[in-house]
Amino acid sequence: MGKQTVRFQCHHSGHCCRDVVCLPTPWDVLRIAMNIHRDPHDFIEFLTPDEIEGVSKSDPTWLIIGDNRYIMALQRTPEEGCFFLDRKTYHCTIYEHRPLLCRLYPFKLHETRTGEFSHFSLHQDVGCPRFRDGVVETAPLYDLYLQDKMHQEDYVKIVNRFNALEDDSRSPEHFLDLFVEVVQAGDEEG
């Protein structure tokens, strides 16, 4: 399974949009904001380690402010799911602009011991029905994976710079403000 194709078909159970927390990169946030013409403060939240499971405390994208840690996520509520989930259709309202992580889910990349691409499979913890009545090509998934990997590397550099600041008055929103300024400058020019 998974060298050329993965057997899977989404049947819109809503699991990924209701039960999974999406951790976008700054580039995802910018792309969404610019395409839907919305302030990222409207759809981004910052979670603490107590509010999210499955993210290691050593993950390099934690913002560290004093003794506290925060990670950037798309806003969601436990009852309704992702901020961008249409409550009637259970479809994504920003599907064409959704984060790379959403585009890759529920697929998992496997590498050889030397770091070469091996294959894709479905994540073990996928809570959807995992219908296998479709075929998904792995080449576009791999391209998305490489793009996300590059964005993650840049994200870590930005987080490291933010974490190195010695300003006790900063908040997680200050991290987001770095990207809002870029979006607003682009809107003023365009």
Asked if 25 and 147 touch (Cβ cutoff 8 Å), the reply is: no
What burial class does residue 96 get, using C-beta atoms within 10 Å of its C-beta: 0-12 exposed, 13-18 middle, 19+ buried? Answer: exposed
* CA dist list (Å): 21 to 5, 51, 99: 26, 10, 12
The pLDDT of residue 175: 92
Give the other-Cβ count within 10 Å of 97's Cβ.
16
- Give the distance between the most distant pair of CA atoms in the chain: 53
Write the single-letter amino acid at 185: A
DSSP 134: S
The pLDDT of residue 178: 74
Write the single-letter amino acid at 8: F
Distance of alpha carbon 49 from alpha carbon 68, whole angstroms: 9
The domain ranges of the chain are 5-177
The pLDDT of residue 85: 93
Write the single-letter amino acid at 187: D
Is the peptide bond preceding residue 106 cis, with omega within 30 degrees of 0? Answer: yes
Phi, psi dihedral angles at 162 (to 5 degrees): -60, -45
The pLDDT of residue 31: 93
DSSP 22: -
Residues of the chain with pLDDT under 50: 183
The pLDDT of residue 75: 96
pTM of the model: 0.85
Q: Quick one: which of 104, 83, 102 has its CA closest to 36?
A: 83
Q: What is the pLDDT of residues 137-186, one digit of tens each?
A: 989 999 999 999 999 998 998 899 899 988 878 899 999 887 666 545 55
Asked if 32 and 164 touch (Cβ cutoff 8 Å), the reply is: no
Distance of alpha carbon 139 from alpha carbon 145, whole angstroms: 10
Q: Over the range 34-52, which residues count as b (16 or more CB within 10 Å of their CB) and which as e?
A: beeeeebeebbbbbeeeee
